[in-house]
């Protein structure tokens, strides 16, 4: 590694000497040995790349600032161009290693724009969408951006981010044309000389992107992400309705779909304050909360009926419990817990989350904590040694009664099976000696 670093530094000697010779930098300012070593460690941190990039950019900025104050003529390409080229190289190494880090790509784009070096990065066109998006913003070239997105999809046919940005671009373009058309109509200008494609104005091109994307990427989360993008634009009601229909039809067994639909009902716009009384608004909120709960419970029934998806059903219960606590507080969460605790399948996290909620209260009740642990042990007491130990630790806390630990230990030894008994004995011994 040392040889590689030394070679890199030796390659830079002419450039460094030039910087010193023209009075732009001192020896101390151009020393980069430590940064080079960091980039050649076996385990490289993203922060090391960013630090090195920032160092080199600072060098460029100082050169630009100082060259205006010295009376020495030098060729820019002898000093600045090698640094720019080196920064490109560092960016390429970083983005190759962290391909999904959008901020890295955007930082590279921003650097290229500032230092006027677009021609040197054609790899952007086939690598990642932020460059294509900026193409539309900077040059008003939707057709060019469209071709670049299609080219990117040839290299990354299942990349969610590419499809999301392509979908957003088509909607942005449609919105821009709709505004232009409206301004022309307002000014009573004859539209005959202008081309406004109905397909673009209506968002149909975005719909084409949506169908292609969801045909390749069959995930509820991805469909929801496209729906959220469409919801930003006020002319996409028909498109949103179509996406919602697809979501409900194709992902009825996905807990994420039911969670999204329930939250959507709750977050729907309420009655306007200026036209309705406080009582009417309260009734509206109650109606939406009731509908939200109905959707959660409907989702639980649907998922609990294909028995082939117990994991999804468990996730739905966890989501429902968290939503109840977030929106209705402790009482609502406890009510939800009681209504679902006999509705199998159940996850351990469903019970431990209720324990966490209880302990978050100003005055947690130990009898409630015991209730949650006892119910959890009915489900997992034969194999989960950690659950027994957590119960014992609760009794050892200021809320509990240490004298109950012996009984819990006896029960654990009776109920646990197989290797879980040995694990429990080992961990319990460590707990008693203060090493747990």
Residue 333 counted as domain residue: yes
Residue 181: is the preceding peptide bond cis (ω within 30°)?
no
Q: Which domain holds residue 284?
A: 261-346
Residue 276 counted as domain residue: yes
Residue 88 counted as domain residue: yes
pTM value is: 0.49
Could you tell me if 229 and 131 lie in one domain? yes
Distance separating alpha carbons of residues 175 and 40, to the nearest angstrom: 48
- Tell me, what's the pLDDT at 138? 44
Q: How many domains does the chain have?
A: 4
Distance separating alpha carbons of residues 48 and 38, to the nearest angstrom: 6
Distance separating alpha carbons of residues 33 and 36, to the nearest angstrom: 5
> Mapping DSSP to helix (H, G, I), strand (E, B) and coil, where does residue 178 land?
helix
> Mapping DSSP to helix (H, G, I), strand (E, B) and coil, where does residue 387 land?
helix
Alpha-helix residue ranges (DSSP H) falling in 98-236: 102-114, 123-127, 129-139, 142-155, 160-186, 198-201, 204-216, 220-230
Could you tell me if 292 and 330 lie in one domain? yes
Main-chain phi, psi angles of 282, to 5 degrees: -65, -40
Could you tell me if 274 and 235 lie in one domain? no
- Tell me, what's the pLDDT at 293? 86
Residue 256 counted as domain residue: no
Could you tell me if 19 and 65 lie in one domain? yes
- Tell me, what's the pLDDT at 123? 45
How many H helices and E strands in the chain? 22, 0
Q: What tokens does 340 get? A: 């679902």
Could you tell me if 274 and 341 lie in one domain? yes
Residue 353 counted as domain residue: no
Domain boundary among 212, 228, 251: 251
Domain boundary among 346, 366, 389: 346
Could you tell me if 4 and 90 lie in one domain? yes
Could you tell me if 6 and 90 lie in one domain? yes
| CA neighbor of 400 nearest in space, from 364, 431, 348, 350 | 364
Q: What tokens does 76 get? A: 């820019």
Question: Angle between the 237-250 and 220-230 helix axes, to the nearest 10 degrees?
Answer: 170
Residue 340 counted as domain residue: yes
Distance separating alpha carbons of residues 317 and 342, to the nearest angstrom: 11
Could you tell me if 110 and 38 lie in one domain? yes
- Tell me, what's the pLDDT at 351? 96
Could you tell me if 77 and 60 lie in one domain? yes
Q: Mean pLDDT, consecutive 10-residue segments, the chain of 436 residues? A: 54 61 59 55 73 82 68 59 83 80 72 61 45 44 73 82 88 84 69 59 82 92 94 91 92 88 79 64 81 86 64 80 92 93 88 96 95 95 94 94 94 90 89 71
Could you tell me if 299 and 380 lie in one domain? no
Residue 56 counted as domain residue: yes
- Tell me, what's the pLDDT at 401? 94
Domain boundary among 221, 251, 281: 251
Could you tell me if 74 and 18 are in contact, meaning their C-beta atoms sit under 8 angstroms apart? yes
Q: What tokens does 134 get? A: 């900026």
Could you tell me if 204 and 272 lie in one domain? no
Residue 351 counted as domain residue: no
Q: What tokens does 336 get? A: 């939800």
- Tell me, what's the pLDDT at 271? 54
Could you tell me if 155 and 230 lie in one domain? yes
């Amino acid at each position: 590694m040392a040889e590689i670093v030394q070679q890199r530094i030796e390659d830079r000697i002419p450039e460094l000497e030039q910087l010193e010779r023209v009075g732009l930098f001192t020896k101390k300012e151009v020393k980069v040995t430590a940064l080079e070593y960091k980039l050649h460690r076996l385990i490289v941190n993203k922060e090391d790349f960013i630090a090195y990039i920032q160092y080199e950019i600072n060098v460029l900025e100082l050169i630009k600032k100082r060259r205006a104050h010295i009376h020495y003529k030098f060729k820019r390409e002898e000093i600045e161009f090698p640094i720019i080229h080196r920064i490109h190289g560092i960016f390429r190494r970083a983005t190759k290693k962290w391909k999904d880090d959008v901020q890295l790509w955007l930082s590279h784009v921003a650097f290229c724009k500032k230092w006027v070096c677009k021609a040197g990065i054609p790899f952007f066109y086939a690598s990642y969408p932020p460059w294509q998006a900026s193409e539309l913003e900077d040059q008003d070239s939707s057709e060019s951006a469209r071709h670049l997105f299609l080219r990117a999809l040839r290299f990354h046919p299942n990349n969610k981010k590419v499809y999301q940005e392509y979908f957003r671009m088509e909607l942005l373009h449609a919105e821009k044309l709709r505004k232009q058309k409206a301004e022309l109509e307002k000014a009573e200008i004859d539209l005959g000389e202008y081309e406004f494609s109905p397909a673009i104005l209506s968002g149909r091109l975005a719909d084409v992107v949506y169908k292609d994307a969801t045909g390749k990427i069959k995930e509820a989360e991805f469909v929801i992400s496209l729906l959220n993008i469409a919801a930003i634009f006020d002319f996409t009601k028909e498109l949103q309705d179509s996406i919602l229909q697809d979501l409900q039809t194709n992902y009825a067994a996905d807990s994420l779909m039911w969670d999204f639909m329930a939250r959507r009902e709750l977050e729907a716009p309420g009655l306007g304050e200026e036209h309705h009384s406080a009582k009417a608004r309260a009734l509206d909120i109650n109606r939406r909360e009731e509908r939200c709960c109905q959707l959660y419970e409907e989702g639980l029934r649907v998922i609990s009926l294909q028995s082939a998806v117990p994991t999804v059903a468990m996730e739905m219960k966890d989501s429902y419990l968290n939503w109840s606590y977030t929106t209705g507080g402790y009482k609502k969460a406890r009510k939800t817990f009681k209504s679902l605790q006999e509705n199998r399948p159940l996850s351990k996290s469903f019970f431990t989350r209720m324990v966490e909620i209880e302990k978050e209260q100003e005055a947690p009740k130990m009898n409630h904590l015991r209730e949650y642990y006892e119910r959890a042990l009915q489900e997992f007491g034969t194999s989960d040694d950690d659950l027994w130990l957590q119960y014992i630790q609760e009794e050892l806390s200021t809320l509990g009664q240490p004298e109950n630990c012996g009984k819990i230990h006896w029960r654990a030894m009776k109920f646990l099976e197989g290797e879980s008994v040995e694990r429990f004995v080992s961990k319990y011994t460590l707990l008693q000696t203060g090493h747990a």
